[in-house]
Amino acid sequence: MFTLVSVIISVVLAIIDAALGLSLGGFGVLGGLYGLAVLLPSPAVGARRLHDIGRTG
C-alpha cells in the first residue's frame, strides 16, 4: 500500500508540476521535494516487509 500511495502521489505531483510550469530541466520541483521526503521511509518500509516474511533487511 505504501508503494501504491507513493506512486499515486508522485503522478499527481508531476501533473501539478507540469500544469504550473514548475519543471526545471525535466525535473519537477514538487516531485523532487516529495522524493526527498520519502527517501528514508521507503527503505524502512522495504526492510519491514522483509522482516514480515522472515528475511533480514
Domain boundaries, the chain: 2-52
List b or e across 27-47, with b for residues whose CB sees 16 or more CB atoms inside 10 angstroms: ebebbeebeeebeeeeeeeee
- The neighbour count for residue 17, using CB atoms within 10 Å, is 18
Q: What is the DSSP letter of 54?
A: T
Question: CB-hemisphere CA count at 13 Å for 1?
Answer: 0
Question: Can you give the pLDDT at residue 26?
Answer: 72
Condensed to tens digits (0 to 9), the pLDDT of residues 3-56 reads: 999 999 999 998 998 888 887 777 888 998 999 999 999 999 999 999 999 887
- Cα–Cα distance between 39 and 20 in angstroms, integer? 24
